[in-house]
Amino acid sequence: MNDTVTLRDRLKMAKFVLFNSRLTNGPQVRKFEEEWSEWLGVEHSLFVSSGSTANSLLVSAWKELNNVPDGAKVIVPACTWVTNISPIIQNNLTPVFCDINLKDFSFSIDGLQRIAEEHQDIRGIFVTHLLGFSAKVAEFRKLFPYADILEDVCESHGAILEGGKNAGTYDVGGTFSFYFGHHMTTVEGGMVSTNNPDLYDLMRIKRSHGMARESINCGGYSAQYPEIDPRFLFVTDGYNFRNNEIGAVLGQSQLKRLDDMIDIRNENYRSYYEVLRQYQNLFLLPEEPSPLQSSFCLPLISHNVDTHNHLQELLDEYEVEYRPVVGGNLLRQPFLKDYTASCPNADVLHERGLYIGNSHFITDYHIEILEEILSEL
C-alpha cells in the first residue's frame, strides 16, 4: 500500500514530540475531537483507541444510560465486522441476526420484516454502513419506531443518509475507525460521536476507567462522595480506551484532506463500476455509484463458485490484493456457534464474495488491470 501518512504528517508529529512534554490524552485530543465534530455535524465526539473500542464504548454507555435490561434484543447484521457483535454479547444483550441485501450490504428489508413479525420487543438496532455504502436507516426506523438506532460507520466516513444527514448522526450515536487502511488514519484509533450530552458525559467517564474526574459534572460526584479523593473516584465500570496526543496531531492533519480523499475514492468507484457493468453475466452488481456513498472498496460477488475461484487465481497471478467481505457470514464463525439464523444472502457473500481495495492512490493503471483480469474469466 502507498503511504497514507505523508511526509508532512510525519513532520508535524515529529515537531510535536520534540517540543511538547505531554504525549498522553490532552489538549490536542480535545482539538481533534472538536474539529471532527464540526466536520461530521454533531455536538460531541470522543477520540478512542480504535473503531472496535468505539463500538464497545457506545453500546456500554447506551445500555447504562437508558437502563436497558440484560437480555434485551438488539438487531445486528449477519455480515459486519466482528466487534459489532462482541459488545452486544459482552454487555449481556441478545443479538438478533438479520440477513443482508446484496446491493448496499446492510439489512435485508425482508429480513427485518420477519424479525418485526416474530419479535415485538426489539430494544435496539446496530446498523453497519458497510464498505462505504449508506444504509437505508429511515426504512429501518419505519419497521421499528421505538427501537434505538446505533451506527457503525467505520468503513464509510462521509457517507450521507437519505435526507441529507451524515451517516453516524441519525439517532443514538455513530462510531468511526481510523485504522491505517481506512479513509483517513491515526494509525490506530477511532471516534464515537453523539448529539446526546448525557451519553457523551457517560462515555467520557467510561473511556477513562469510570473516573468521575472525566465528567463535566465532576463536582457533583465529589459532593456525593466527600470521603473519597476526587482524583480517584470511580462511579461506574469503565475501560482504558483513551488515545494520545500524537495520534490526535496526525488526525488533525489527515482530516484536512479527508473530503478530497473521499472524492477520489468515489471517482475510482465509478470507474470500477463501469468495468464491472460489462460482466453482469459473471457478477452481481452492487449499488450504483451515488453521491451518498463514501467508497471503501469494490465488492466482487460471483454468480457461481467456479468463477469466484478462478477470479482469486487471477488476482493472485496479477498480484492484486483482495480480501473476503469482512468475516463473511459471521454465524459460520466459531465464536458464534451458539447462534443460528437463516441468512441466505450472507451465505452468498461468504461463499462467492471478495473485495479489492479502493483509495486515493488508485490510478487508471489499476482500473485497466481489473479490466484485463475480468476479460480472462
Other CB atoms within 10 A of residue 304 CB: 11
- Tens-place pLDDT, residues 292-305: 999 999 999 999 99
335 shares a domain with 244 = no
- Is the same domain home to 250 and 262? no
pLDDT of amino acid 3: 73
Residues 76 and 179 in one domain: yes
For cell 479489492, the residue is 356
Let me know whether 106 and 204 are in one domain.
yes
The per-residue pLDDT for 248 is: 98
pLDDT in tens, 314-331: 999 999 999 999 999 999
Are residue 300 and residue 246 in the same domain, yes or no? no
Q: Domain check: are 168 and 288 in the same one? A: no
What's the confidence (pLDDT) of residue 1?
45
Tell me if 98 sits within 8 A of 330, measured CB to CB: no
Please indicate, yes or no, if residue 99 is contained in any of the structural domains: yes
Tell me: do 132 and 29 sit in the same domain: yes
Residues 214 and 311 in one domain: no
Q: What is the DSSP string of 100-120?
A: BPSSSSSB-HHHHHHHHHH-S
Residue 208 lies in a domain: yes
By CB neighbour count within 10 A (0-12 exposed, 13-18 middle, 19+ buried), where does 210 fall?
Answer: middle
The residues of the chain scoring below 50 in pLDDT are: 1
What CATH number is attached to the domain comprising 304? 3.90.1150.10
Same domain, 63 and 20: yes
Among the three residues 233, 254, 275, which one is the final residue of a domain in this structure? 254
DSSP β-ladder status, 94-98 and 73-77 = parallel
Q: Which bin fits 118, alpha (ψ -120 to 50), beta or left (φ > 0)?
A: alpha
How many independent structural domains does the chain possess?
Answer: 2
pLDDT of residue 121: 96
Same-domain pairing of 305 and 248: no
Cα separation, 38 vs 42, in Å, equals 7
C-alpha cell at position 159? 457517507
Whose cell is 451524515? That residue is 166
> Which pLDDT value is given to residue 2?
59
Provide the phi-psi class of 163: left if phi over 0, else alpha when psi is between -120 and 50, else beta. left
pTM: 0.96
Last residue of a domain, one of 254, 277, 296: 254
Supply the range of the domain harboring residue 156.
7-254
Tens digit of pLDDT for each residue in 62-120? 999 999 999 999 999 999 999 999 999 999 999 999 999 999 999 999 999 999 999 99
CA-to-CA distance for 225 and 111, rounded, in angstroms?
49
Residue 1 belongs to some domain of the structure: no
What is d(CA 29, CA 32) in angstroms, rounded to the nearest whole number? 5
- Residue at 2 is within a domain: no
| Per-residue CA distances from 112 to 49, 76, 117, 127 (Å) | 32, 10, 9, 12
- Do 347 and 280 lie in a common domain? yes
Same-domain status, 86 and 17 = yes
Question: Does 107 reside within a domain?
Answer: yes
CATH code, domain with 119 = 3.40.640.10
Q: Is 367 a member of any domain?
A: yes
Domain boundary among 207, 233, 254: 254
Count other C-beta atoms under 10 Å from residue 252's C-beta.
19
